[in-house]
Amino acid sequence: MTAQKTIYWIATGLLSALFLYSAFLFLTDTLVIQGHYQDYQYPSYLVVPMAIAKIFAILVILFRKPKWVMEWAYAGLFFDLVLASFAHYRLGDPNLTLTLLGILFLLISYFFGKIVRP
């Protein structure tokens, strides 16, 4: 396995773990997450749809079919992470580091995926 493939799979694995864990929390602790959404002044009814969207996005990224949906999945996760970063920063939340790492994993996965899995 080449170094680029290794980097791609590590970043994609960490990105997948991050979002699947997030989706798991959204689905199992929905009321707690809704409370956090209210703290961030986001609509709390988005919690369950966001969890489902995260799961589908990761599945599309792992299977990479169809290609145009994969591009949208990366874009959706990117926007989710950027908005989460701003929300955590605004409240002084220590989870900001995790969202910034998520952006790093996403960018590495996206750009190395174009080389390794065209």
One-character DSSP codes across 47-86: HHHHHHHHHHHHHHHHH--SHHHHHHHHHHHHHHHHHHHH
Which band of pLDDT confidence, cut at 50, 70 and 90, is reported for residue 63?
very high
Number of domains in the chain: 1
Q: Is pLDDT of 1 > 80?
A: no
Which band of pLDDT confidence, cut at 50, 70 and 90, is reported for residue 40?
confident
pLDDT of residue 47: 96
Q: What is the DSSP letter of 29?
A: S
- Enclosing domain of residue 61: 3-116
Q: What is the mean pLDDT of residues 101-113?
A: 97
pLDDT of residue 92: 85
Radius of gyration of the chain, Cα coordinates, nearest whole angstrom: 15
